[in-house]
Amino acid sequence: METHPPLDLSAGQGMVEDVLDRFFERAKARAAKLGPSYLSLWQTLEDSTAGGKRVRPRILLTAYLNLGGTDTAAAAGVGAAFELLHTALIVHDDVIDLDFTRRGQENVSGVYRDLASSAGAETGAARHRGLSAGVIAGDLALTGAFRLLDRSPVSPETRLRLAEILDDAVFASAGGELIDVDFSFHPGAPPIDEILHMERLKTAVYSFEAPLQAGAVLAGAPDEVVSTLGLYGRDIGIAYQVVDDLLGVFGSETATGKSTFSDLREGKRTVLISYASDKPEWAELSDLIGSPSLTARGAARARELLVSSGARDHARELVREYADRARQRLDCPAVTPGLRAALSAVVDDAVNRGR
């Protein structure tokens, strides 16, 4: 079988950074006129977007360039819009989860909580101020995503289709976020299919389905390709989320930048927990997880129980299943060998993270 050297995305990725830089420069210049504290909020928001892996722009560029798209600037602009959407959603997700750090660093709410504390506010007030700043910053990033789409050099018809894709992504994420909040209020663990449904809505749609479809639309690909990439994105996105669940418990912190404690400590509803919830191990496991006082020893025991109950193996099997299904989606004439090769690489990345 002939090989397909992957297209070079670096030019496009550099343009994404330029678009984001220009966006924040403009916003900071306008904010400075309204007040120094507003400028700081924008600076904090920009800092929180820096150093990201730009997964969504990369996926969009991969689809666009491999479908023969040549206007890299346009694709970079839309990719940057998806990056801002990602920022908006995680900033508000952290507000909802009362998280003040992300990947080991203070997030927007964390920065403002600390500022308030240093200014002498007591804990509750400082946290509230941090969360308030998070609500405002997320709104700005969300609006910014649509702004960047408007600034991208695309035709009115294409812009409208892309705006619908962006809007559908927000619609899905908000639904997933709500269902996730609902879960935390239900005793026991929801069935695996409900967890997969939530994870797909909350993250897979805006992270995979939507950027892939946007790249295809932007490249002027036929509807068949757009919908095929959407289905591929759904499956690979779900595989990605289950890998996330695995890494949240079994991953190495160095590889993920995420504590392998936090998921267990907050008793996060994952496919692992759902699978274990009707196994004999559940009695002991349910006492360990979801407790702020969970020790390293307790976490180690929880991992043992997730292994012995077969939860880890089942999750790994789910990853294989959805990754295979994703690959099969690409097995159609509408998808060129080059695109298939490029997206298969995305599959492998998704599945082999943190190993």
- Which one of 4, 28, 147, 301 is in contact with a second copy (CB under 8 A)? 147
Tell me which DSSP letter residue 101 carries.
E
| Cβ distance to a second copy smaller for residue 112 or 302 | 112
Length, in residues, of the chain:
355
| Cβ distance to a second copy smaller for residue 5 or 120 | 120
Q: Is 231 in the site for a second copy (CB under 8 A)?
A: no
Tell me which DSSP letter residue 272 carries.
H
- Which one of 19, 27, 192, 347 is in contact with a second copy (CB under 8 A)? 27
| Cβ distance to a second copy smaller for residue 170 or 326 | 170
Half-sphere exposure for 217 (CA within 13 Å, toward CB)? 23
Q: How far is CA 305 from the centre of its chain?
A: 28
Q: Is 92 in the site for a second copy (CB under 8 A)?
A: yes
Give the nearest distance from C-beta 334 to a second copy in angstroms: 26
Q: Is 291 in the site for a second copy (CB under 8 A)?
A: no
Place of tokens 């595989």: 239
Q: Is 219 in the site for a second copy (CB under 8 A)?
A: no
Positions in 32-51 near a second copy (CB under 8 A): 34-35, 37-38, 41
Q: Is 193 in the site for a second copy (CB under 8 A)?
A: no
Q: Is 25 in the site for a second copy (CB under 8 A)?
A: no
| Cβ distance to a second copy smaller for residue 3 or 155 | 155
Whole-angstrom Cα distance, residue 231 to residue 158?
Answer: 21
Half-sphere exposure for 12 (CA within 13 Å, toward CB)? 28
Through-space distance between the first and last CA atoms of the chain, rounded to whole angstroms? 28
Give the nearest distance from C-beta 351 to a second copy in angstroms: 26
Contact 219, 68 (CB under 8 A): yes
Contact 80, 57 (CB under 8 A): yes
- CB-based burial of residue 307 (10 Å sphere; 0-12 exposed, 13-18 middle, 19+ buried)? middle
Whole-angstrom Cα distance, residue 318 to residue 274?
Answer: 13
Whole-angstrom Cα distance, residue 131 to residue 136?
Answer: 9
Give the nearest distance from C-beta 232 to a second copy in angstroms: 21
- Which one of 21, 25, 139, 284 is in contact with a second copy (CB under 8 A)? 139
| Cβ distance to a second copy smaller for residue 198 or 341 | 198
Give the nearest distance from C-beta 176 to a second copy in angstroms: 8
Determine the interface stretch with a second copy among 115-123, 221-229, 280-288, 294-302 (rule: CB under 8 A): 115-123
Whole-angstrom Cα distance, residue 65 to residue 118?
Answer: 49
Give the nearest distance from C-beta 134 to a second copy in angstroms: 9
Q: Is 143 in the site for a second copy (CB under 8 A)?
A: yes
Whole-angstrom Cα distance, residue 56 to residue 217?
Answer: 15
Q: What is the DSSP string of 15-32?
A: HHHHHHHHHHHHHHHHHH
Q: Is 28 in the site for a second copy (CB under 8 A)?
A: no
Whole-angstrom Cα distance, residue 89 to residue 117?
Answer: 26
Interface with a second copy (CB under 8 A): 27, 30-31, 34-35, 37-38, 41, 88, 92, 95-96, 98, 116, 119, 121, 125, 128-129, 132-133, 135-136, 138-140, 142-143, 146-147, 150, 156, 159-160, 163-164, 167, 170-172, 174-175, 177-179, 181-182, 185, 197, 201
